[in-house]
Structure 1
Amino acid sequence: MRVAIYSNDGSTSNKVASQLKAKIKDSDKLNYDGLNPEIVISVGGDGTLLSAFHHYIDSINKIRFVGIHTGHLGFYTDWRDYEVQQLVDSLEDDNGQSVSYPLLSIDIKYKDGGPSDSMVALNESTLKRVNGTMVTDVNIKDEFFEKFRGDGLCVSTPTGSTAYNKSVSGAIISPQFNAVQVSEMASINNRVFRTLGSPIIIPPNEWITIIPDDPYHNILTCDQLLVKNRPIESITYSISNDRIYFAQYRHTHFWKRVSNSFIGVHKDD
């Protein structure tokens, strides 16, 4: 089986990555292959795994990911930095087992006459103004829903609902749902301007289109990637036809991850 390692620049991560690489090269069942892997091991945290996801985005349906965290517990990382040998043993006994999560499709049209863009996010996409209030139409299935005024909008996947989306009071959604969530950032609500004021969750047969009043001076994100300095005509969000796959040697239940990360107090404590 072909295995790649994608590590951040931290000293602990580099040490773990070196140990992994040496053990993989010594294995009779594993081959190190950074160009055409079947398994990608991310060493770091959730940010590192996001980078690995975008690095291998063109082969996303052919790859399963494994996460080793070398710092705090992450949502996408099931292994600790002191479990290198246990992970290698699991890789050698691999039988193709996996768990998959939905992804966010982002289609962008521009007003400068240039080509459209299509992107895929694992966590979320946001749209904000460089300065001032962002004003944009929000359409659901090509029908006008509301005119938003505020700091910006966050559109997230179910697994991404625990990230930026949570910080702007969005709901946490189980990844068993193929849903897209739109959460407001500091919306303006008074007797003149009015938005729903609550997160919107849409099913896989619907889509959200955002049309900013001013196409200029906006910043669009796709996970940690930025799209700026181009006039945005519209952005359409929907559930992607692709999914991300994780090798399920050991995979912590989603709600246990939520409890461990945000609550941390257990019944017997």
Structure 2
Amino acid sequence: MKFAITSKGDQKSNILMHRIRTYLLDFDLKYDEDQPDIVISIGGDGTLLYAFHRYSSRLDKTAFVGIHTGHLGFYADWVPDEIEKLVIAIAKTPYQVVEYPLLEVIIRYQHAGKESRFLALNESTVKSIEGTLVMDVEIRGQQFERFRGDGLCVSTPSGSTAYNKALGGAIIHPSISAIQVAEMASINNKVFRTIGSPLILPSHHTCMLKPVKRFDFQVTIDHLTHLHKDVKSIQFRVPEEKIRFARFRPFPFWKRVHDSFISD
């Protein structure tokens, strides 16, 4: 088996990275940063997001496992005191693959028929460069509403506990193949009106945003921020690709939600 390791970069994470690499090499596993079968993320959810984007071109071949060296993360199964147990599991135990749905973002431009495609593990947000964001929102090719407000957030089920939750969105179990659209400070009065509630769209539905006046937008893909000019449309849907996690023991989603937001 070939493995790679990504580290948060702090001293604690780097020490663990070197220990795990040494242990796995002793078990005759091969270190391969280009084509790993398994990627070990050491740090927090941000470190795993970085690993996901680094290996997004080989999601069907690479599985991820996380070790959190700070606060409890949603994508990190293991703690530093368990690394010997994890190393033995990786070296000796066939792992279960758990797949989570992702978000596909396709941005099309006004000229030359160009488009950009991105995959997000958590969410994508759209904001105006200046002033109010005004977008026509289409669902399944039909006009749904004209949104006016600070911005829109489209999240995956596993990302529903992140920025989406802060916006009042629902928490969705990752076994449900869907995307969620949440509003950021929408304008609702006698003149302008939006739905005012998060929308949960199944995998066979597409959400399309079309600019009304301005055409330059700030678009985030997880932790990455991009400025896009002369935008014709921004399309969101559930893609065929999924992220694969290597599970060596149960890691119930609702327990993670409880431990992260309710437990003392």
Q: Normalization by structure 2: what TM-score?
A: 0.97
Extract unaligned runs of 5+ from structure 2. none
The one-letter code matched in structure 2 to 1:146 is E
How is 1:1-269 mapped onto 2 (pairs within 5 angstroms)? Answer: 1-28=1-28, 30-113=29-112, 115-265=114-264
1:128-181 deviation digits (Å, cap 9, x = unpaired): 112211000000011000000000000000000000100111111111110110
User: What's the CA shift for 1:26?
Assistant: 1.2
Q: Which moved more, 1:145-154 or 1:104-113?
A: 104-113
User: What's the CA shift for 1:114?
Assistant: 6.1
1:18-48 deviation digits (Å, cap 9, x = unpaired): 11111111113x2111111000000110000
The one-letter code matched in structure 2 to 1:43 is I
Extract unaligned runs of 5+ from structure 1. none
Question: Counterparts of 1:227 and 1:234 in 2: how far apart (Å)?
Answer: 15
1:180-236 deviation digits (Å, cap 9, x = unpaired): 100000000000000000000111111100112234331011111122042211111
The one-letter code matched in structure 2 to 1:23 is Y
Q: Normalization by structure 1: what TM-score?
A: 0.95
Percent identity, please: 49
| Contact preservation (8 Å) 2:102, 2:119 | yes
| Contact preservation (8 Å) 2:102, 2:242 | yes
| Contact preservation (8 Å) 1:112, 1:230 | no
Question: Counterparts of 2:113 and 2:2 in 1: how far apart (Å)?
Answer: 39
Question: Counterparts of 1:209 and 1:251 in 2: how far apart (Å)?
Answer: 37
User: What's the CA shift for 1:111?
Assistant: 1.7
The one-letter code matched in structure 2 to 1:137 is D
Q: 1:148 to 1:7 in 2, by over 3 A?
A: same
Question: Counterparts of 2:52 and 2:135 in 1: how far apart (Å)?
Answer: 30
- Root-mean-square deviation (Å): 1.2
| Contact preservation (8 Å) 1:122, 1:223 | yes
Q: 1:93 to 1:15 in 2, by over 3 A?
A: same
User: What's the CA shift for 1:62?
Assistant: 0.4
SS where residue 241 of structure 2 aligns? strand
| Contact preservation (8 Å) 2:215, 2:232 | no
The one-letter code matched in structure 2 to 1:143 is Q
| Contact preservation (8 Å) 1:78, 1:251 | no
Matched residues, number: 264
